[in-house]
Amino acid sequence: MRTRKAFIAVSMLITLSLLLGCAGAGGKEPIVVGSKIDTEGALLAQTILLLLDDAGIPVEDRSHFGPTDIVRKALLSGEIDLYPEYTGSGAYFFEGTDPGIWKDADAAYAEVARLDLETNNIVWLQPAPANNTWAIAVTSTLADAEGLETLDDLAAYLNAGGEFKIACSEEFVTSPPALPTFQDAYGFELTDDQLLVLAGGNTAQTEQAAAQGTDGVNAAMAYGTDGSLSALNLVVLTDPRGAQPVYEPAPIVRSEVFEAYPEMADILAPAFESMDLVTLQTLNAKIAFEGQDARDVALEYLTQQGFL
Amino acid sequence: MIELKSVTKRYGDTTAISELTMDVEDGQLCVLIGPSGCGKTTTLRMINRLVEPTRGAILINGEDNRGSRPDVLRRSIGYAIQSVGLFPHMTVEQNIGTVPSILGWEKPRIADRSRELLDMVGLDADAYATKYPHELSGGEAQRIGVARALAADPPILLMDEPFGAVDPLTREMLQRQFMDIQRRLKKTIVLVTHDLDEAIRMADKVAVMKSGTLVQYDTPEELLSHPADSFVRDFVGADRALKRLSRIPVTTLMRPATSVQRGAVLSESAFAELPRYVWIVDKGTRLLGWADTAGGPDSARWQVDESQGRRVSVLESASLREALSLMLGQGVRNVPVVTDDCKLMGEITLKDIEEATAE
Amino acid sequence: MPGQEDGSSRLSQCNCVALFGAALGLLSLGLPWLSIRSSRLAAGEPVWLVSAIGPLVAGIFLIVWLLALRAGFDTNRERSAATLGAAGALLAPATLIAAGIGSKHLLEAAEPFARSSLSAGVWIGLIASYVLIHTAARSLEGRPALRQTVIWFPVLAIAIAGLSGLYSNTSLAQEFAGNEGRFIQELSRHISLSLGSVAIGTCIAVPLGTAAARSKRAERPIFVIASTIETIPSLALFGFMIAPLSALSYAYPALREIGIRGVGTAPALIALVLYSLLPIVHNTYVGLKEVSPAAMDAGRGMGMSRPQLARRVEFPLAAPLIAEGVRTASVQSVGGTTVAALIGAGGLGHFIFQGLGQAAPDLILMGALPVIALALVVDIVMRWAIARLSPKGLRAEAVT
């Protein structure tokens, strides 16, 4: 008897806690803001959350939701309402687009905004003018020693037989817009022992590997706005030939939610416009390098710039 | 009254019980006995529908036992098995109160009844009510099994080797105790056992079964004096005459015993009337011993062994079998019968026993 | 035996577990205690014991560990247990507090964004203290007050020290400080996801286990399915859930309204429910099969209907084993929920993957340690609850 009563009580307690935990949304439907599992995504998500909240719109924080495809699926299925995405990703999401479009910032934005609205009812808002695209960064030691500034310099160095090993992810090696594009555009080819492929690798790990010289690595796959570059003494090689597609971050939102709150375009635009490459690098560095909370960094920036 | 009418039970191609017909009168204790596999347990379990007969019917007080739902039927029939099957997670009190609880009795009534039954089976209610089955000895557990079967005061009791799982000494005590209870309650009981002595001691009627058929259904005396065929004869054993003796209490054949007080002085005529051996008692007729009168009237010269008193006698509650055993062991032809505190009541002679057992 | 002085017999009587713990503790003094890194992302430099906590404190630690070693040889069980218990109970919080204070001093002298992480010496020291506490608690069965003190004092001391900020200079604490709000949110998500899935799983698994126990025909398919599910790696199972749930939620928008979508809580919950099935089904099956046939026959023969038999006899007798199955499933579920963060369901895995993404090991720890602690808490609480709620008759039987 005691056993049964206790069991019922306990399971009711559990069910209750489950319902409470999953509920989250109460009263008016808040806008659920998500992001990918990376520093910049968190920063931009917190920026969005703070701005919308300040304007009196109810929001829910689901940042660091998951990897790209999970977050995208979540948006399409309505699990989340808004997240920051990159214009260049349009090349993945939509087949049969002209590759040239993606190398031009404005054209890329226009194309992906059009396609997403038509196909998926997703609205793209004002992007930030920062190109967070694939890049190759080398240790400052190497850069100084060999005078490497651009990818042209790197090609020359490689073709002259220079010692080189880059830490990168699987995606970087195989995905056409990444390494293959670099190699085609600049005329070099990396051999297998010049690659250190990290499973599921992200730029934080590759940059750390290069900085520590793990396994003879002296270069890393990086993104344009990575915060740890200067802290780890890595130098990004510039892309004068414009080989890479442009990746500008912009908030993207489900059209039903946008129609409910059309004012969000104007609320978010000024802040995003202000975030150029250097700004994002600095802000990212505060999170990744100093370990500050993304929310605090966003709050400080927005307050300083007068957006809040 | 329980009536089995041409009951047959088949399992596939095997026939376990074949055309069994017998009646158990109210208030009688009927024992089913037979070699392993004779179907006695199956028969028992058909009465409360734990097993359903293939053919035939079982009537309880004139009504077919298939008339009500099996579980409802069983609540009015007590059931006690060899392995007892006490519920380990319940106290003794809760175990005993199982059927009353199912029948919806109020808690106070169940508690009272449990205590009453514990007393009836000779266990201290205060001490045992809150114990758990794992704290009980084998004998205690079996007694509680019987108490549990009696809890709702069912008119019928079915018992399958209820005293089986204990040592012979405990078993005999349990049997005796149970017989006391039965004398008071007069339930209709069907009891299965493989122990012939148990059957002889306890039964009003014995049903001997073999390979699913009823071979003989008689009182124990009849069974022992007139076994129906060679199987029964072998089954009851070549010592059936002795077994019959165990059914007869000594008080049946007791005759008055001649006794003389110790230190008494007898006249010559009184002495002359004495038999060869007399019993010596004290002032309170407590048996002290015996004396051989052949040595003459001088009582001082009689050999009296004061330690003999108890050794040479049987209790009044004993059976003729014990009396005979004593006679054979001592090499004498008569034994005195005494009360619990050794007061002389009478005597039994070998001749009387012989006449009683003549077939 | 008391009084024996022969060396070999003393060795054989020694408390081997205590000796192991003491040896481990002494080893921990020789390993690096802290790791100072110039920034959150840089590589760490090992800091050894004396540099970390100063020669005086290091000396005290050494003495206490040596005392513990000696206690391992002590033949007087009571005295030995008391010494070991006291040593372990004091060393555990002392190790952490010393590391915390040491971090503070070291960081004062370092660069602005430097971080101090706890290193191998601290972790092994903690494990060694735990070993001492464990063996002391075993020997102190007869002294419940002392035993409870030995067990709970270190826990309380560590908690109080944490709350009063003594560890605030360690990298782990700093990561936590940066993520406090989100931590609470993800912790509660983790708890409700893991325990909720077990609650639902129990409602499904107990009937399944009962069916398997009652019917030979049902037994095989039920076990085959449950076992197969168990062998699927958790991430794969989560992944499998996404496609069909997405398709379903697109086909039936009503599902989306109530929160069932391809990613997020729904697939994680379903996968976790599936994982919780096997332990509970198995234990229900065994529990029911082990019910004494004599008790069942007696119950039937006394006139219990099938439901009454189940309610009054079978399930109360099987309940302890079923409860154990639920406990196993719960502990397992706490661990399995960690991966749910990858499909957007949240939970403590969120910090683990974030830490992996940022290559910040202390962030990973901030996710991983609570998962371990939560699993332990769930285990302890459930064991206690099961012991309290077991019918007394069975409890004693289990002991004897």
Cβ pairs bridging B and C (under 8 Å): 87
Mean pLDDT of all residues in B110-117:
93
Q: Is C132 exposed, middle or buried (0-12, 13-18, 19+ CB in 10 A)?
A: buried
Using an 8 Å Cβ cutoff, are C261 and A76 in contact?
no
Give the residue from C52, C117, C107, C34 showing the smallest Cα distance to C360.
C117
Q: What is the pLDDT of residues C302-351, one digit of tens each?
A: 999 999 999 999 999 999 999 999 999 999 999 999 998 888 888 999 89
DSSP, residue by residue, B74-101: HTTEEEEETT----TTS-HHHHHTHHHH
Neighbours of chain C (3+ CB pairs under 8 A): A, B
Closest chain C residue to the Cα of A233, Cα to Cα: C42
Chain B: residue whose CA lies nearest to C299: B85
User: Which residues of chain C fall below pLDDT 70?
Assistant: 1-13, 393-400
In Å, how far are B82, B200, B357 from A185, measured between CA atoms? 92, 111, 125
Considering Cα of C328, then C330, then C334, then C340, what sign does the dihedral take?
Answer: positive
Provide the mean pLDDT of chain C.
86
* CA-based nearest residue to A173, from A191, A151, A157: A191
Q: Could you say which of 2.130.10.10, 3.30.565.10, 3.40.30.10, 1.10.3720.10 is the CATH number of the domain covering C180-398?
A: 1.10.3720.10
Structure tokens at B95: 């175990």
CB nearest B90 (choices: C296, C303, C393) = C393
Angle between helices C361-389 and C315-336 (to 10 degrees): 170
Half-sphere exposure of A57 (CA within 13 A, CB side): 22
Residues β-bridged to residue A222: A135
pTM: 0.78
Give the CATH number of domain A134-236: 3.40.190.120
Residue B303 confidence (pLDDT): 56
Three-state DSSP at B278 gives strand
Using a CB-CB distance cutoff of 8 angstroms, which residues of chain B are in contact with residue C308?
71, 102
- H or E stretch at C90: helix C77-108
Q: Which chains touch A (3 or more CB pairs under 8 A)?
A: C
The interface predicted TM-score (ipTM) is 0.79
Question: Whose structure tokens read 């090696």?
Answer: A173
Of A238, A228, A214, the C-alpha closest to A143 is: A238
Domain spans, chain A: 29-131+246-304, 134-236
Ranges of each domain in chain C: 2-168, 180-398
Separation of alpha carbons C102 and C32, rounded Å: 13
For residue A128, the SS3 value is coil
The token pair that represents A107 in the structure block: 């054209």
CB spacing of C297 vs B50 below 8 angstroms = yes
Cα C61 from chain centroid (whole Å): 28
Other CB atoms closer than 10 Å to residue A15's CB: what's the count? 16
Q: Residues of chain C with pLDDT > 90: what percent?
A: 36
Residue C146 contacts residue C140 (beta carbons within 8 Å): yes
pLDDT score for A9 = 66
Chain A residues close to C41, C-beta within 8 Å: 204, 207-208, 211, 228, 231-232, 288-289
Q: Cβ of A82 under 8 Å from any chain C Cβ? A: no
What residues are paired with A223 via a beta bridge?
Answer: A134
Work out the number of other CB atoms within 10 angstroms of the CB of residue C160: 11
Residue C305, chain A, CB below 8 Å: the answer is no
Closest C-alpha among A303, A297, A301, A299 to residue A275? A301
Lowest mean pLDDT among A177-181, B39-43, B160-164: A177-181
Q: Can you tell me the distance from the alpha carbon of A4 to that of C19, in angstroms, rounded to the nearest whole number?
A: 45
CA distance C202 to C326: 7
How many CB atoms within 10 Å of residue B358?
Answer: 8
For residue A232, pLDDT beyond 60? yes
**CATH for the stretch A29-131+246-304:** 3.40.190.10
Residue-wise pLDDT for C122-157, tens only, equals 999 999 998 888 888 888 887 888 888 888 888 899
Quickly list DSSP for C316-379.
Answer: HHHHHHHHHHHHHHHHHHHHHGGGGGGGT--STHHHHHHHHHHT-HHHHHHHHHHHHHHHHHHH
Query: What count of other Cβ atoms lies within 10 Å of the Cβ of residue C276?
Result: 30
Put simply, whether A60 touches C (Cβ < 8 Å) is no
d(CA C275, CA C230): 6
> Whose CA is closest to A59, among A25, A23, A22, A84?
A25
DSSP conformation class of A192: G
Rounded Cα distance between C98 and C49, Å, is 10
Contacts of C341 in chain A (CB under 8 A): 66
% chain B with pLDDT above 70: 95
Cβ-proximal residues to B53 (8 Å cutoff; 6+ apart), any chain: B7, B8, B9, B17, B46
The radius of gyration of chain B from alpha carbons, rounded to an integer in Å, stands at 25
By the 8 A CB rule, do B17 and B45 touch? no
Is the Cβ–Cβ distance between B260 and B291 less than 8 Å?
Answer: yes
Model confidence over A203-224: pLDDT tens digits? 888 888 888 888 889 999 998 8
Answer whether A290 sits within 8 Å of C39, measured CB to CB: yes
Rounded to 10 degrees, the C-alpha dihedral A285/A289/A290/A291 comes to 100
Distance from CA of C246 to the nearest CA of A (A): 7
Is-same-fold flag (A29-131+246-304; A134-236)?
Answer: yes
Surface of C (81-140) touching A: CB under 8 A: 113, 115
